[in-house]
Structure 1
Amino acid sequence: MTLATPEFVRGDFEQDTVHTYHGQTYTMSRRGDTYYVRTPGRDGKLTDYPITYTLGARQHETYLTRFPDGRVQILPVYWDLIEKRWYDAAEGTLEFGRSFTPNDYLFWANQGRTWNDQCFDCHASQMRKNYDLETNTYDTQLGDLSINCETCHGPGKDHVVFWRKALLDVELAAKGEKSLVRATSLTPAEQVEICGQCHATKTSLRTGYKPGDEFLDYYELNLIDDEESFWPDGLVKKLAYPHLQFTGSQCFQKADLTCTGCHANHGSDTPVELIADPAGGALCARCHPNVMVDIQAHTFHKPAGKGSDCKACHMPEMFLNYLTVTDHRLTVPVPEVTSRLGVPNACNSAGCHSGESAEWASEKAQAWWGDYQDERVERTQAIAWGREGDVRSLPVLSAIVQDLDEDLLLRGGAVTLIGTVGELASLPIILEALTDSSQVVRSRAAIAAGRIGHPRAIPLLKRLVTDPVYSVRVRAAFSLVKLEYAPPTEVDKEALKKALVEYEASSLGIQADSPNVHATIGQAHEALRQQEAAELAYRRALRVSSAHTLSLQRMELMDVATAKYDKLVEMVTPNLDKDIRLKVALGIAKIHRGLIPEGVGLLREVQSQKIESELVETGLGDGYRIAGDVGNAERHYSRAIEIFDKHANAYRGLALIAYSRGDVDAGDRNWRMFQEHESDDANGGNRMF
């Protein structure tokens, strides 16, 4: 990232200055040392926007302009440095098929193209977003344009202070200074995570990551369940960054190869800063000299041809979003997945055997290397089925999760997909994954447990709200809320509250400009029956993006529920003293609206008339459980069962309390009774008195 000065701008603003795509025309110009793009703004009026920054130095040069509200917006056209021509992002990197309009989220002046939000944490160092939710403005500050030393070596203040003193003190200088992180002092995984700050497909959760820190305290990774980013075999589908693909490779897992094993971290004269010329296998020969002795025996291709180029088979290049992207899985070609599922493979890629069929390539691979494709095809098919919610995926997905040697792109994604399929029979796999040694798997298992929706996961999720990893804690907390966890002690209540507050604090910090985050918080408040807090969260989401679909939908559903409740109140209130059943109905409705004191008060009035009802007792049990008074809740549920031993919801309440205490046997016993009598309740088995 650079300032848009004549020293750095490489696009043609002098001769080739007009570009038209799908009826939309852009005009580029230069006046003195300032560059402009003429384009319609949100109001539809053509305006000359001054370019503030440029992004990109290898394939594209993208241009940014600063708005008065502090937003830095990505202008709609970019310069292709290889083809030497202009592209509309809609025809190039975003491949939308038509030019964007102001109604599109990805219109250049909308939030989908706000650099402060969408490009946060990569194209500058020590960036402080400083988004103000109340005014919907940014005051973004940068430590440096582009990537500086501290990004990879940690804060440098102590280093500078020491050496300023040491310049005048020989003895001090001789002792040396060790505040900066040396990559070689870190584990291979930690070394790769340094690069993952920029080269991972992820969401930034918090700021402040330093080399060697727990990566998932700051970032959440996109995994194989992300259908937009990955083919079901893990190959990138669009411009996605290679961190997890690489860490799943055998080179990393078995030989501890890191990024700097191939790339010069301080730059080199070779393409993409490689430490050796990749042509002819010289780069790979450093680790695989035995293969290079007789390359034809390994490849079954001529030694001098592309078929014996290591990169062509194991790291094929793809042209995605008008960018050349390299597959970093360092895997083997599997043409059979193309034949069955349409997934691209190296053999039939451009420049190799593009004129032949995938079936032809698969037969060759089978003849040369045996049946190595079978397992890979089975796994890829399972991922594809899992994305569709197909139960046929579950045996293989379960095996992937349980294989501790499998890479995290697949293991974590497989856990998520099991949750998406939602079969209760898969619950044991999810429960096992909640105790996994991998933070990625634990975090995704926490999400999956919430999706499957069985409270048997509560005891394990309860432990995870104090997990040392931030992303695990908050995912566990949200699933506990969804499963109606009833914290049995003050310590448990505080642990849950702390995790939820921790996430909400993040939403008002680095993620305050993410409507999805506010919507997630809104759903949590809804589950906790905190209607006003939920509405506030949805309104915050809509302040950031007025067309945010989920928030609009939730607000509409809340409005419908409120209207129904208001109508109920209007209808029954005048007759409360005439028909005690109306008082019971209103009391229960208030409890489930989160108006606990009012609802409990009405039900207690009914009790005071010496009327025994399992509905009243269960309603009181629900009220006390939601309010956090587990002891009273348990007493009322038990009394409901004494009155009518087939009352399903009383057993449900007791099961939730038992699971929340960690008493799995009692939880299972009561849950079975709930399921046994649930149909009775649904078919009118509930009695009023």
Structure 2
Amino acid sequence: MMDPATRLGTAPLWLACAWLAGALAVAAQDQPESPAVEPPAYVGTMACAECHTAEFESWTGSHHDLAWTEPTAENILGDFDDVTFEHQGVTTTFSREGDQFFIESDGPDGALTRWPVAGVIGITPLQQYFVETEPGRMQSFDIPWDVIENRWYHMYPEEHLPAGDGFHWTGPYKNWNARCAECHATDFQRNYDLQTGSYASTASEIGVGCEACHGPGSAHLDWAAAVDAGTEFEVPPALSPTGFTVDYAASDAETEMQQCASCHSRRGTYLGGSPLPGTPFHDAYRLSTLRDPLYHADGQIRDEVYAYGSFLQSKMYAAGVQCSDCHDVHSATHYNEGNDVCATCHSPAGNSDFPTLKLAEYDSPEHHFHPEDSEGAQCVSCHMIERVYMGVDGRHDHSFRVPRPDLTIAVGTPNACTDCHAEEGPYWAQEELDKRFPNSAYRGDHFALAFDAAFKGEAGMGDTLVSIALSPSMPGIVRATALELLAPQATPEQAEQLALLLEDADPMVRTHAVSLQRVAAPTDMVVRILPRLSDESRSVRIAAAREMLAAPIAHLPDANARALAGAMGEWQSSLANTADFPETQLVLGGIALTTRNLEGAISAFGEATRLDPQLVAAWSMLVRLRAASGDEDGAREVLTEALSLNPEDPTLLGLEAQLP
């Protein structure tokens, strides 16, 4: 989430993007942000209920239905009977006056302030609330209600996040409009105003309704009316035979996977709100790689990364398994319970939809070596480790991996065995697995060894990372991560060796293959990257535009110039769409430096520190820029302010020692 008090409309900041002005004019014609064909209109879930009764009833009361609800007595589960909760010296009061509910706590300035609850988030195992701290700006509150234990609790109990901290509940990272709402609503649009730093956000429907996944339904209603009347339905351009923007009937697993992933993934966004259902994932988002601290070195979940990034690593994904093979997408529950979820396929009978499955009995002590029906006998205990997020919300790793205590020994990654058998430890666990599965293929080399070394900044992993990136048997997200980790230490020879990945089938691999080419000789880099400016994936096109920004070119053929302008325009649009993100301000500052726009860089980095006062990288750049321009007094003044907000930061203390 992010604080919208941004004031990006100042001339110096937009001078940092002057290099894109011409590109925008071309992009507006050749690469429009809106669909080339006007999509159907949204009609609301109730318009679907009459014909799709079973699906509607299944959806009603689901996590999707209740992802965002109005703050009514029926919807609010927390205790608002003048209850107080104290955390880090701040006393929060939850109260009620008639049908209105209130939260009193420390506001943006640290003063106790009382706000009416503006919205309800979720249903179980926790329920969170957000308030409107100023017109249009919604902030999610850090003290949710534990639905299971019936108590208030703080999501970050050990952290002291005072007012003014970027991670304070009123700060930029907890802003509901920018960071959360699009996955809790249907057709949510942030509508952030750069000049005023305010939001006028809209949604066709709060909660994840039918059209959040199926797309706007007006054309489908026209199709249904035509069917009822026995007349022909003329399908509008770019729609499915039944009038939707996405076609699940084609039985394409990737279509469903990418639609679910638009919310169930850790990613950065290019757009200003919910993408139109059916939009390819990599046209709307940049998926996070398996980087520390999001993932462990072996790809296991660590931070809150949701499901998509881990599922992409699995053999199930490679075999064409999709979300709806295990989950009822309307009720958002499993079709079966316990081990029956897995035994639908993993059994002596198998599943004809997946003919390559090994037919065997897995739900037995001969396989899991635990008493029947015990926790240790559950498939998920060994193959889908659970980690707790938001204080009480346990979520399973979807990479479906075999426990590897040998990797725990080698690089310290967790494993399912010692999740339960902590006292026995990883050496014991590995000995047990060696005895019980003596010929297991799950031993030996693993990309975790190279990734762990790269996480630690160790040299000498270049050739191994190259091999991982080139391995056709590795999942695309693993290969992309290898490219990203290699980039800081890559050589021109390695860039040439990996140039073939610029045409890889996986857009994530192509994206990171583009970034790696920056170490190539300038002429080679330009020749290799130019075709990617017209790539079918927006992620790749933007990556190519980013690398071309500093390319030493005086003139391009018209076709290449148009492609460059279009890709640059898409990049600028993505930055404008996330202008209230401190991390976007860092990018804008970097662009300004690349274009030798000192004033623009200072403006952008200054905006970043205003949004997030703990963003030391931005403070550091401000100090260096002031000093480099000869303004030593200004540099000292900025550093003093930075240290007052971050008094123990070693980077800032190091800068203090360097200044005269």
- The answer as to whether partners of 2:172 and 2:581 remain within 8 angstroms in 1 is no
Counterpart pick for 1:262 among 306, 326, 331: 326
Higher helix share: 1
Counterpart pick for 1:360 among 428, 434, 438: 428
1:386 match: 454
Change (3 A) 1:552 1:491: farther
Q: Work out the CA distance in 2 between the residues paired with 1:12 and 1:80.
A: 10
TM-fit CA distance, 1:286: 1.3
Q: Work out the CA distance in 2 between the residues paired with 1:136 and 1:200.
A: 28
2:355 match: none
1:336 match: 406
TM-fit CA distance, 1:182: 4.0
Counterpart pick for 2:117 among 26, 37, 51: 51
1:71 match: 137
Change (3 A) 1:461 1:521: farther
2:51 match: none
Q: Work out the CA distance in 1 between the residues paired with 2:101 and 2:463.
A: 58
Cα-to-partner distance string for 1:390-444 (whole Å, 9 max, x where unaligned): 2332233222211123112211111100113345553234423223221101111
Q: TM-score, normalization: structure 1?
A: 0.74
Change (3 A) 1:533 1:19: closer
- The answer as to whether partners of 2:502 and 2:510 remain within 8 angstroms in 1 is yes
Q: Work out the CA distance in 1 between the residues paired with 2:580 and 2:181.
A: 11
Q: Work out the CA distance in 2 between the residues paired with 1:377 and 1:137.
A: 52
1:319 alignment partner, SS class: strand
Q: Work out the CA distance in 2 between the residues paired with 1:486 and 1:532.
A: 25
Change (3 A) 1:515 1:320: closer
Change (3 A) 1:377 1:58: farther
2:179 match: 118
TM-fit CA distance, 1:532: 5.2
Change (3 A) 1:166 1:321: closer
TM-fit CA distance, 1:166: 5.5
Cα-to-partner distance string for 1:252-291 (whole Å, 9 max, x where unaligned): 212x111111100111xxxx6001112xx21211111223
1:527 match: 594
Q: Aligned partner of 2:93: which letter? A: T
Cα-to-partner distance string for 1:315-350 (whole Å, 9 max, x where unaligned): 122234422011111111111122222211111113
Cα-to-partner distance string for 1:16-52 (whole Å, 9 max, x where unaligned): x121123222111111111111111122211112111
Q: Work out the CA distance in 2 between the residues paired with 1:482 and 1:371.
A: 53
- The answer as to whether partners of 2:144 and 2:152 remain within 8 angstroms in 1 is yes
2:418 alignment partner, SS class: coil
Counterpart pick for 1:417 among 485, 509, 512: 485
Change (3 A) 1:370 1:421: farther
2:79 match: 12
1:647 match: none
- The answer as to whether partners of 1:4 and 1:53 remain within 8 angstroms in 2 is yes
- The answer as to whether partners of 2:105 and 2:114 remain within 8 angstroms in 1 is yes
Counterpart pick for 2:571 among 492, 497, 503: 503
TM-fit CA distance, 1:236: 0.9
1:286 match: 344
Stretch moving more, 497-506 or 538-547: 538-547
Q: Aligned partner of 1:335: which letter? A: P
TM-fit CA distance, 1:208: 5.9
Change (3 A) 1:493 1:549: farther
1:310 match: 379
Q: TM-score, normalization: structure 2?
A: 0.77
Counterpart pick for 1:219 among 285, 289, 293: 285
2:546 corresponds to 1:518? no
1:132 match: 193
Q: Work out the CA distance in 2 between the residues paired with 1:253 and 1:553.
A: 44
Q: Work out the CA distance in 2 between the residues paired with 1:467 and 1:277.
A: 43
Counterpart pick for 2:299 among 234, 238, 241: 234
Change (3 A) 1:555 1:90: same
TM-fit CA distance, 1:120: 4.2
TM-fit CA distance, 1:526: 2.6
TM-fit CA distance, 1:305: 3.4
TM-fit CA distance, 1:14: 2.1
Change (3 A) 1:40 1:306: closer
2:351 match: none
2:387 corresponds to 1:298? no
- The answer as to whether partners of 2:215 and 2:277 remain within 8 angstroms in 1 is yes
Counterpart pick for 2:218 among 154, 157, 167: 157
TM-fit CA distance, 1:141: 0.7
Cα-to-partner distance string for 1:551-571 (whole Å, 9 max, x where unaligned): 444444444444499xxxxxx
Q: Work out the CA distance in 2 between the residues paired with 1:102 and 1:36.
A: 19
**What CA RMSD, in Å, does the superposition of the two structures yield over aligned residues?**
2.8
2:465 corresponds to 1:397? yes
Q: Aligned partner of 1:75: which letter? A: F
TM-fit CA distance, 1:531: 4.5
Q: Work out the CA distance in 1 between the residues paired with 2:344 and 2:507.
A: 33
2:334 corresponds to 1:274? yes
Equivalence map 1:338-487=2 (5 Å): 338-350=408-420, 353-370=421-438, 372=440, 378-424=446-492, 426-450=494-518, 456-487=524-555
- The answer as to whether partners of 1:522 and 1:538 remain within 8 angstroms in 2 is yes
Cα-to-partner distance string for 1:532-553 (whole Å, 9 max, x where unaligned): 5545554654565566544444
TM-fit CA distance, 1:161: 3.4
TM-fit CA distance, 1:482: 3.7
- The answer as to whether partners of 1:3 and 1:52 remain within 8 angstroms in 2 is yes
Stretch moving more, 176-185 or 382-391: 176-185
TM-fit CA distance, 1:488: 4.0
Q: Work out the CA distance in 1 between the residues paired with 2:559 and 2:628.
A: 34
1:88 match: 154
Stretch moving more, 294-303 or 211-220: 294-303
Q: Work out the CA distance in 1 between the residues paired with 2:458 and 2:441.
A: 22
TM-fit CA distance, 1:365: 1.1
Counterpart pick for 1:199 among 239, 245, 264: 264
Counterpart pick for 2:255 among 190, 194, 198: 190
- The answer as to whether partners of 2:223 and 2:242 remain within 8 angstroms in 1 is no
1:28 alignment partner, SS class: strand
2:160 alignment partner, SS class: coil
1:682 match: none
Q: Work out the CA distance in 2 between the residues paired with 1:425 and 1:385.
A: 21
- Aligned residues, how many? 547
Structure 2: tracts of 5 or more residues without a match:
1-67, 349-359, 633-660
Q: Aligned partner of 1:235: which letter? A: Q
2:56 match: none
Cα-to-partner distance string for 1:74-97 (whole Å, 9 max, x where unaligned): 123111112221112321xxxxx2
Q: Work out the CA distance in 2 between the residues paired with 1:551 and 1:134.
A: 22
Q: Work out the CA distance in 1 between the residues paired with 2:402 and 2:464.
A: 20
- The answer as to whether partners of 2:185 and 2:206 remain within 8 angstroms in 1 is yes
- The answer as to whether partners of 1:521 and 1:537 remain within 8 angstroms in 2 is yes
TM-fit CA distance, 1:73: 0.5
TM-fit CA distance, 1:530: 4.3
Structure 1: tracts of 5 or more residues without a match:
92-96, 566-689
Change (3 A) 1:228 1:500: same
Larger Rg: 1
1:629 match: none
Change (3 A) 1:451 1:275: farther
2:47 match: none
Q: Aligned partner of 2:589: which letter? A: G
Q: Aligned partner of 1:330: which letter? A: F
Change (3 A) 1:355 1:542: closer
Stretch moving more, 430-439 or 360-369: 430-439
Change (3 A) 1:437 1:235: same
